[in-house]
Structure 1
Amino acid sequence: MIPASVALLTLGVLLAEPVSRALAAARWPNRDPTGALLLWQAVGLAGGLALLGAGLTFGLAPLGDSLPAAVGTLADHAGRREWPSRLGLLQLLALAATLVLAARLLGVLGLATARTLRARRRHRDLLDVLATPWPAMAGARVLAHPLPVAYCLPGLRSRLVVSEGALSALSAGELAAVLAHERAHLRERHDLVVLPFVAWGATAPWVPGMARAQLAVAALVEMRADDVARASAGELALAGALRRVGGAIGASERATLTSFSAAVGGRLDRLEQCPDQPSRTVRAATRLTAVALVAVPTLALLLS
């Protein structure tokens, strides 16, 4: 299993740094944000599997010719309450490092999730007190504020919020674009897409590729929601809404998935440039690459 361990370690390191950094700097995701989001999720999942699998396969290599066999041998020893004598110091260090990495990944993810849910709950409670239900849309609330503000609060008890300033400042088409954008965030659960990359970056903030992943994914979910709004309400309406609402958001992005917030200028440029959709072949290749990235470490672990 040593060759498989080396291959998995190499794959994990490549995905964590140069691949993630290159993907964050690439321009093609502007044309296919959905495909890029799938690829990012594959990079994160495959990177975690590869790094954890490398330590596991190296640490258990003396116990069998494959990982399933080695795990079975370890389970037999555990059932007899015996320590496998074939495990040396290097193997124990590798297993300990794998356990520490897994605990950090899961711990950071769990902490980020708990903080996010707590902040959302406080925010939702405030909205229920300060905002009033909007008869025009079920589940939406109107906030008595003069600035044009629009955002969503995702979760099982989601909220879609527009301010009185937004209702008065936006035309009917612009308001439809805002609502379509926000509903896309809620319907496609973009908060769940972004959250693992918050943990991914916080696990090793000193690794540039991992640190940039969160910003890249956050930008992509905005592009995806923009595309939904453009298809629904039109490019002119969305551009007008971006200009009117873009600088007025004040809600914390840690608690909500703010709509017209960061990089408004870049999003307007993208609308004006109206990038062509990639061909079906390119889109299929992107999605197949995402599947392959996850399949490679998975098969390596099962067949090593």
Structure 2
Amino acid sequence: MNHHVLVPAGLVLLTGCLVPWLVARARWAQQVPRLALAVWAACGAVFAGATALMPAQLVLTNESSHRLTDMVLTFHFPAPARLLALDGRQLLALSLSLAVLSVPTTSFVRRLVRARRVRTRHAGVLRLVGRYDPALRATVLDDERPAVYCLPGRSRRVVVSSGAVDTLTPAQLAAALAHERAHITGRHHLLVAAAEAFAAVFPRLPLARHGGSAVPLLLEMAADDRALRRCTRDALATALYALASGRAPRSAFAAGGPSAALRMRRILTPYSAGHPVLLGLSTIAAAGLAMAPLVVACCAFPR
């Protein structure tokens, strides 16, 4: 077996198993959700790339695979003219890599298209039964149950039920609206689609299994943190309490929901931002050091 396959194999184990296992159990992840989300996104991207590189390294000759390893480690990719001069074995390796990479990519695109279709239909219904409130900059829907949710993407809009307008105070309503607008601004639906795509393609992989449940919760916490820039902790926490039983249509983000109790406790419990960030960076650095022996070994072998 070509020894240069150790680098992508190590990356697959690192980003598909080790780092997700560590982050899923780390307390700092919920304290600094944006850092945790960046780790999940990086693991997904590196795992997909490393999985695509493995068949290429198995097919290529020792000299060609050494050059490929050097390019990946130094981020020095060939010019388009050089790609056109590839021989038969190199073209086969490229085709295999693209075929492997196309599986999660296709699943990701399909989920984006499907979610967009659902949101577009719901937006059409809202245009018929809802009314736009310029003061709230949101669509008000006549429903006595308190609910606040948003439709991200091209159909972007924030929806408020009349029950929420009657139940929440102005400060609480502003906090809930800020939370929903954070989802839209952050394009959180893209990360949800990516997590769902990995869960569908790699259902038993720790990256997919843990990420499928962790990413949506971290996105809600990240939206809470962004909303807290414009509102008080008490206003957001009490708004979550009032909206905890609220529901949202598929492919939408709701301010309440099943995670409301956990997020309320997090909002009302102050913490120091520096400490969890250092813990998170230490976890990432420690996991990254696990790749050092493989990288050194592959670079040390002669071509």
Taking structure 1 as the reference length, the TM-score comes to: 0.81
- 1:105 is displaced (CA, Å) by 1.0
Is the CA contact 2:234–2:268 (under 8 Å) kept in the aligned structure 1?
A: no
Distance 1:214 1:266 in 2: 18
Counterpart residue identity of residue 5, structure 1: V
> Is the partner of 2:244 in helix, strand or coil?
helix
Distance 2:153 2:168 in 1: 27
Extract unaligned runs of 5+ from structure 2: 72-77
Equivalent in the alignment of 2:75:
none
Distance 2:82 2:189 in 1: 41
Alignment of 1:171-186 (within 5 A): 171-186=169-184
**Alpha-carbon spacing, 1:10–1:197, altered in 2? closer, same or farther (3 Å):** same
Deviations for 1:61-111, whole angstroms, at most 9, x for unmatched residues?
A: 357241278x98884366xxxx45xx8xxx97x877645532321221121
Alignment of 1:4-153 (within 5 A): 4-61=4-61, 64=64, 65-67=66-68, 75-76=84-85, 83-84=88-89, 98-138=97-137, 140-153=138-151
> Is the partner of 1:213 in helix, strand or coil?
helix
> Is the partner of 1:243 in helix, strand or coil?
helix
**Alpha-carbon spacing, 1:35–1:73, altered in 2? closer, same or farther (3 Å):** closer
Aligned length: 284
Give me the CA root mean square deviation. 3.3
- 1:134 is displaced (CA, Å) by 0.8
> Is the partner of 1:66 in helix, strand or coil?
helix
Distance 2:81 2:10 in 1: 26
> Is the partner of 2:155 in helix, strand or coil?
coil
Equivalent in the alignment of 1:278:
274
- 1:53 is displaced (CA, Å) by 1.5
Percent of aligned pairs sharing the same letter: 29
Is the CA contact 1:59–1:95 (under 8 Å) kept in the aligned structure 2?
A: no
Taking structure 2 as the reference length, the TM-score comes to: 0.82
> Is the partner of 2:145 in helix, strand or coil?
coil
Extract unaligned runs of 5+ from structure 1: none
2:203 aligns with one of 205, 220, 225: 205
Deviations for 1:215-246, whole angstroms, at most 9, x for unmatched residues?
A: 21111111111112223210111111011011
